[in-house]
Amino acid sequence: MRFSTFVYTFKQGVKNIWRNKIFSLASIATMSACIFLFGLFYAVVMNFQNIVKEVESGVAVTVFFEEGIGAERIEEIGDIISKRTEVADMRYVSADEAWEEFGEIYFEGAEDMVEGFETDNPLAESSHYEIYLNDVSQQSNLVTYLESVEGVREVRSSDLAANVLTDFNRLIGYVSVGIILILLCVAIFLISNTVTTGISVRREEIAIMKLIGATDYFVRSPFIVEGILIGLIGSALPLVLLYFMYSRLIVYVADKFIWLSNMLHFLPVNEVFKTLVPVALILGVGIGFLGSRLTIRKHLNV
Amino acid sequence: MITLEHVSKAYKAGIPALNDVSLHIDKGEFVFVVGDSGSGKSTLIKLLLKELEPTEGKIIINGKSLGAIKRKQIPKFRRNVGVVFQDFRLLKDRDVYENIAFAQRVIATPTKKIKRRVPVMLSMVGLAAKYKSYPRQLSGGEQQRVAIARALVNEPKILLADEPTGNLDNHNAWDIMKLLDEINQRGTTVLVVTHNLEIVKAMKKRVITMKKGVVVSDERMGDDDAV
Ligand SMILES: Nc1ncnc2c1ncn2[C@@H]1O[C@H](COP(=O)(O)OP(=O)(O)OP(=O)(O)O)[C@@H](O)[C@H]1O
Ligand SMILES: [Mg+2]
């Protein structure tokens, strides 16, 4: 396309929006509302997933050994475990270390009491492996496997935490797909209506254009530009709004609810927006394009 | 330049709007088409623009059979055929300059060339002073001049006019016909559908008369168009 043609087409697209103010505004407003909801949701999901990840990294499977097992076998078991793909990280805790950790937690401020047991460790049989997983959902698999390994006395894990987290992740996935689908339909419907009105207003002009020898492409382009612009404006506005709201919110929470910010770590603004911005813009532009393209096919016969 | 071979066009079952029409128009001719209302004149124009497809027969323009032109090629074909109508069909929200430039934008003419060409057309139709006016600020005759300038800005080889003077008083009608004659003198083949028999008689051109979809007479009245 020639540059002058591009400029002309772009101007006509803007003109379409302008002439058709009320419909265009309604489309942009709805689009904005949808993208705003999407962005809000996205930010919540991102933060939640961050929390899940933090919790996940604390979820561990603990493997205890049979009595009187040799150091060699313990090392072999370690090898077996480290070869499993589910395992993100693991750590060997000897009986002495276990006792020390126990002491640190339960005899805080009275460490000398712990020393009294030095030669007769009450946790003599408590040397173990602590295993951290890539993904909680794989936990039950691994536990079943480990229980079958020779020399393993007991495998401890927190099934409840793992299950709840996995279920919640899945739920969030479904809900977000649902919301995006609804959003798509509403926005496409509105943009389609706007473009339909634009076409009916310009019917005569389109007929003249065709008689003069305008290509289908030339007739179509201003309406495509119209749709894309509506999508672009409709996604840029809520993004700006969300950006300010989010950055304000995390400062506010950190300031006023210190107890909360200790528990929950909000993702920094840029972390959320570096993916949200392109996703929302592509979504907006895509919806705009699709809405007008489908309508043109239906009403313009070009 | 324009050849029709046994062309018929029926909109619905029943009496065809055009019935077995054969005619030939040479390059550089000026032809009037006259006939009663409903005799098929506008239908003929629409067929020549490939707005309609003939039910039967073959139309050849510029050596090309219209039946062989694919949908995608229609725009390119139409650029070689200028057309004006009784109701002018200007864009009401654009001034005279833009109305003419529009025809060039449509075919992706560079802005530079548009700026050169539009004033030439404006002075040809005698509207150089009114290039900033909007259609509603112009008389019917002036509006038709704009339409003619728009039809010719891309230098088509053929100009079709469907009752170009139908909405004009006698004085303006004569001006427009003279303008069309001038355009013809410069080499464009011109086909004019009209009801104005007075002008047709005075101008001494080839006259095709239609009745109920059939060509009933085809006379060459002038000397300059004699073949
Ligand atoms: N779109 C259409 N659908 C059905 N019939 C049509 C259509 N257009 C024209 N006709 C019929 O075809 C015949 C020829 O019409 P056409 O418009 O070609 O006449 P015309 O010679 O241009 O008349 P006028 O001088 O009044 O403009 C008429 O009987 C008309 O009713
Ligand atoms: Mg007619």
Instruction: Please give the Cα distance from A299 to B16 (Å, whole number).
Output: 29
Q: What share of chain B is helix, strand, coil (3-state, %, to 5)?
A: 40, 25, 35
Q: Torsion angle of alpha carbons B108, B114, B117, B119, nearest 10°?
A: 140
> Taking the CB of residue A229, how many other CB atoms lie within 10 A of it?
20
Q: What is the pLDDT of residues A169-219, one digit of tens each?
A: 778 778 877 877 887 788 888 888 888 888 888 888 888 888 888 888 888
Query: Hey, what are A133's tokens?
Result: 């997983």
d(CA B26, CA B61): 10
Mind listing the pLDDT tens digit for each residue in B6-57?
Answer: 999 999 877 889 999 999 999 999 999 999 999 999 999 999 999 999 999 9
- Closest-CA residue of chain B to A209: B106
Task: Give pLDDT tens digits for A120-151.
Answer: 666 667 788 888 877 777 788 888 888 888 88
User: A282 to chain B nearest CA, in Å?
Assistant: 29
Ligand 1 pocket mutation, candidates B39, B87, B193, B194, criterion most atoms within 8 A of CB: B39
Q: Taking CB atoms and an 8 Å cutoff, what residues of chain B touch A214?
A: 75, 106-107
Q: For the packed helices A3-19 and A159-201, what is the interaxial angle rounded to 10 degrees?
A: 90
Ligand 1: atom nearest CA of B39 is 21
More confident residue, B143 or A263: B143
Q: Which pLDDT value is given to residue A124?
A: 63
Tokens 């950006």 label which residue?
A: A243
Indicate which atom in ligand 1 lies nearest the CA of residue B210. 21
Identify the pLDDT of residue B222.
65
Burial status of residue A71 (CB atoms within 10 A of its CB: 0-12, 13-18, 19 or more):
exposed
How confident is the model at residue A91, as a pLDDT?
A: 84
B77 contact A CB<8A: yes
Optimal mutation site among A2, A208, A216, A300, interface B, most CBs of chain B within 10 A: A208
Mean pLDDT of chain B: 92
pLDDT for B225: 47
* Site residues for ligand 1, CB cut-off 6 Å: B 11, 17, 35, 37-43
Over residues A255-263, the mean pLDDT reads: 70
pLDDT band at B227 (very low <50, low <70, confident <90, very high): very low
B15 Cα nearest atom in ligand 1: 29
Pairing relation of β-strands A152-156 and B81-85?
unpaired
Q: What is the pLDDT, as a whole number, of residue A43?
A: 85
Ligand number with the minimum distance to the CA of B209: 1
pLDDT in tens, B72-116: 899 999 999 999 999 999 999 899 999 999 999 988 888 899 999
Structure tokens at A139: 């936990």
Given a contact cutoff of 8 angstroms between Cβ atoms, the answer to whether B107 and B154 are in contact is yes
Of the pLDDT bands very low, low, confident and very high (cuts 50, 70, 90), residue A57 is: low
The answer to whether residue B206 neighbours chain A at the CB level (below 8 Å) is no
The residue with greater pLDDT, A193 or A117, is A193
Nearest to A213 among B72, B89, B106 (CB): B106
B61 DSSP β-pair partners: B2, B64
- Chain-chain contact of B105 with A1 (C-beta, under 8 angstroms): no
pLDDT of residue B224 exceeding 60:
no
Q: What band does B140 get if pLDDT is binned at 50, 70 and 90?
A: very high
Write the residue in B51, B72, B106 that is nearest to A212 by C-beta.
B106
Instruction: Decide if B110 touches A, using CB distance below 8 A.
Output: yes
Which residues of B fall within a CB distance of 8 Å from A212?
A: 78-79, 102-103, 106-107, 150, 154
Higher pLDDT, A168 or B224: A168
pLDDT tens readout for residues A225-253 = 999 999 999 999 999 999 999 999 888 88
- In Å, how far are A24, A200, B29 from A289, measured between CA atoms? 14, 19, 48
Set of chain B residues whose Cβ sits within 8 Å of the Cβ of A208: 89, 91
Ligand 1 atom nearest to B213, measured from its CA: 14
What's the full length of chain B, in residues? 227
User: In chain B, where do the E strands start and end?
Assistant: 2-9, 18-25, 30-35, 56-61, 64-65, 81-85, 158-162, 189-193, 206-211, 214-220
Tell me the chain A residues in contact with residue B102 when contact means C-beta distances shorter than 8 Å.
212
CB B164 within 8 A of CB B192: yes
Q: Assign A119 a pLDDT band (cuts: 50, 70, 90).
A: low
Q: Is A2 helix (H, G, I), strand (E, B) or coil?
A: coil
Residues of A in contact with B79 (CB under 8 A): 212-213
Q: Is the pTM of this model over 0.95?
A: no
Judged by a CB distance cut-off of 8 A, whether residue B102 touches chain A is: yes
